[in-house]
């Protein structure tokens, strides 16, 4: 899988659950890592990256390591000359055939070594695309958690239920984004969808899988709540019988022998 960078707009977080031995012994930390990610609507994500690049952002610090090496300039040509691509139009952004913004989410999630990394002549293009898509789907399924930007509250719920953690504040669904402020016609949208066909397929798959996981967690929560309610009712019923028994005990008078014993002792 390709090395991911902070700037590439895909969130990959490693959660570490730590445990240590007795303080008198040598402290040994046992770490269990969970790879998670957030996916976004491909058209919105693409427009957002274009605006980001238009303002001067670059991925020069990204090594794009695959199978122990970085791609050659022939395998991964640049879309621009100079230090950055600031000021590029959306048309220019779409016209570059080497633009890594195309199908970025599939590429970031898939195992590129299956298709010869960035060597486009390794296998036919159609076969390459199918292998990458299936690899991305598999890696998504294998993740303990993934979320969708367009479903913030459900994403928060799934995260909290998966890792037994609680956020201080509820997630907010902000629909006003840089991508949302871009006005594009239907032809341009269709063009973006074509350039990101693999991402579109992955996102449809992810939405279905996301809803399945969400519904499962909700059903599990309701079942746990029913069990909890039943246990509370049983406890309540058992407690209802206690006051009567205690009253009977309190109503009994000490026996004569017991009273005599107290008098003799004191």
- What pLDDT digit, counting tens, does each position of 169-181 carry? 988 887 656 566 7
Task: Look at residue 242 in the predicted model and tell me its pLDDT.
Answer: 67
Inform me whether the pLDDT recorded for 245 exceeds 70.
no
Global confidence as pTM: 0.77
Average pLDDT (132-145) is 98
46, 49, 68, 120 from 3: Cα distances, Å? 20, 19, 10, 19
Inform me whether the pLDDT recorded for 99 exceeds 90.
yes
Strand order in the sheet with 12-16: 12-16, 33-39, 145-148
Helix spans in the chain (H): 42-54, 90-95, 104-109, 125-142, 152-163, 186-195, 197-240, 242-251, 256-265
How many angstroms separate the first and last alpha carbons of the chain?
86
pLDDT tier at 109, thresholds 50, 70, 90: very high
Task: Look at residue 180 in the predicted model and tell me its pLDDT.
Answer: 61
Q: Is 57 exposed, middle or buried (0-12, 13-18, 19+ CB in 10 A)?
A: middle
Which of 29-43, 67-81, 108-122, 241-255 shows the lowest mean pLDDT across its residues? Answer: 241-255
Task: Look at residue 224 in the predicted model and tell me its pLDDT.
Answer: 92
Task: Look at residue 230 in the predicted model and tell me its pLDDT.
Answer: 87
Task: Look at residue 233 in the predicted model and tell me its pLDDT.
Answer: 86
């Amino acid at each position: 899988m390709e090395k991911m960078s902070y700037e590439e707009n895909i969130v990959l977080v490693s959660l570490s659950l730590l445990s240590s031995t007795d303080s008198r012994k040598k402290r040994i930390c046992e770490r269990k890592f969970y790879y998670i990610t957030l996916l976004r609507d491909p058209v919105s994500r693409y427009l957002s990256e274009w605006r980001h690049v238009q303002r001067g952002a670059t991925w020069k610090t990204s090594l794009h390591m695959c199978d122990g090496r970085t791609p050659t300039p022939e395998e991964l040509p640049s879309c621009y000359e100079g230090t950055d691509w600031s000021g590029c139009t959306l048309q220019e952004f779409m016209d570059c055939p080497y633009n890594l913004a195309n199908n970025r989410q599939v590429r970031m999630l898939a195992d590129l070594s299956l298709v010869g990394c960035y060597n486009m002549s390794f296998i036919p293009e159609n076969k390459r695309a199918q292998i990458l898509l299936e690899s991305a789907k598999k890696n998504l399924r294998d993740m303990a958690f993934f979320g969708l930007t367009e479903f913030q509250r459900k994403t928060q719920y799934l995260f909290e239920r998966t890792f037994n953690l609680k956020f201080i504040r509820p997630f907010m669904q902000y629909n006003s984004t840089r991508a949302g402020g871009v006005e594009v016609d239907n032809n341009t949208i269709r063009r973006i969808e074509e350039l990101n066909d693999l991402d579109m397929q992955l996102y449809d798959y992810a939405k279905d899988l996301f809803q399945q996981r969400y519904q499962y967690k909700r059903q599990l929560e309701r079942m746990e709540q029913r069990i909890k309610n039943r246990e509370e009712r049983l406890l309540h019923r058992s407690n209802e019988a206690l006051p009567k028994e205690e009253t009977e005990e309190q109503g009994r008078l000490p026996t004569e022998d017991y009273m005599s014993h107290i008098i003799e002792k004191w």
